[in-house]
Amino acid sequence: MKPFPKHWVILLMAGILVAIQAGGELFGQKNKKINVPDSLKIERKDTTSLFLNDSTLKQKWEKGGKAGVTLAQVYLVNWVSGGESSLSGVAQAHLFAKRLRKTSLWENTLDARLGYVGQGKIYQKTTDRLDIVTSGRVYLKEKWFYAWRVNLRTQMLPGYGLPGDSVIISNFLSPGYMYINLGFDYHPFKGHTLLLAPLSSKVTIVADQELANKGAFGVIMATFDVITNTILSFGQNLKYEFGGFVRYTFKGQITPTTSLETRLELFSNYLKKPQNVDIDWEVLGKVKISDKVSVNLYTHLIYDDDIKMETDNLGNVIRGPKVQFQEILGLGLTLNFSNEK
């Protein structure tokens, strides 16, 4: 079995991080006095605003995060209409570290989400996501920034098609997606951000060689001897795409007790079928019950033209790409932590 060099992912991210951060120093505009918009301010609990052209912020780090769990339960006893008791839960964590300078911001985030549902004696994974981002922006002019972003997203545990099935259909770094974006960040209103990255790359990673041999997630599959069915050449572990990337985010209060967060990402491959745009859209709505308890509604929609939903034994597509949709509704408990004073 052909080994996959997993260490290249860490080395690549580290190299890009060092190179781009060094570039950010060149655009730092160290001695220029400017009016920096609200998106590059720190709001203190005493309502005092500190601007990035304050020399006290040269080495300022903010670190923190939040962790939570969302639960839902169905319990049945002698229920004549039929059915079975079930219990489901989703654990999630968000960590961040920001470094503020005079006219620039360097931000790192890690988001993890893992959920299971149990019905009877059968347990099945419902959600699994690991998302790591390092990004930066340098002030250009009012509401506009030079921006770069590197994002690695994958899952943590193996995925199976059916409960109790032993056939793995996905795994850690199978798939994994790495996005490298270079462009401009626009902040039109409070809570709204728009990243326009005409120079972007997308790398699809399939580290599991068995999945790569099947051509899963759009990589080139293995070639087989038609008589003996032995592998002549292994499936490729990487697929490269070059194109344009757009990312819109919103986070804000709808009412005093209701908040909404959404993230929409679009990617178009310049080199192949640019009209078939990849879509990744998340929405999280919360209705606050107390400081730590809320009712949460989470939805996630994905469309990727390279993900074929079903293939035959020869790798031929029986059904093409389809819209993937996930919805989770439950009672959530969230704990926040930060070094902000």
CA distance 143 to 186: 6
User: What is the enclosing helix (H) or strand (E) of 49?
Assistant: strand 49-51
pLDDT at 298 over 60: yes
Q: Dump pLDDT digits (tens) for 317-329.
A: 456 788 999 998 9
Q: Which residues contact 83 (CB under 8 A, 6 or more apart)?
A: 74, 76
Q: Dump pLDDT digits (tens) for 223-280.
A: 999 999 899 999 999 999 999 999 999 999 999 999 999 999 999 999 999 999 999 9
Q: Dump pLDDT digits (tens) for 179-195.
A: 999 999 999 999 999 99
pLDDT at 102: 84
User: Is 132:149 a contact under the CB 8 Å cutoff?
Assistant: no
Find, among 298, 289, 322, the residue nearest to 308 by Cα.
Answer: 322
Is the four-CA dihedral 255, 194, 154, 326 of positive or negative sign?
A: positive
User: Is 270:298 a contact under the CB 8 Å cutoff?
Assistant: no
Longest dimension (CA), the chain: 76
User: Is 164:122 a contact under the CB 8 Å cutoff?
Assistant: yes
pLDDT at 316: 52
Q: Dump pLDDT digits (tens) for 71-115.
A: 888 888 877 777 788 889 999 999 999 998 888 999 999 999 999
CA distance 293 to 244: 39
CA distance 201 to 224: 31
Q: Dump pLDDT digits (tens) for 124-159.
A: 899 999 999 999 999 999 999 999 999 999 999 999
Give the Cα-Cα-Cα angle 262, 50, 53 (nearest 5 degrees). Answer: 105
C-alpha count within 13 angstroms, C-beta hemisphere, residue 235: 22
DSSP annotation of 47: -
Which pair of tokens denotes residue 326? 């996930």
CA distance 236 to 239: 8
CA distance 57 to 48: 14
pLDDT at 311: 56
pLDDT at 192: 97
Q: Dump pLDDT digits (tens) for 199-209.
A: 999 999 999 99
Name the pLDDT band for 310 (thresholds 50, 70, 90): low
pLDDT at 20 over 50: no
CA 96 from chain centre, in angstroms, equals 14
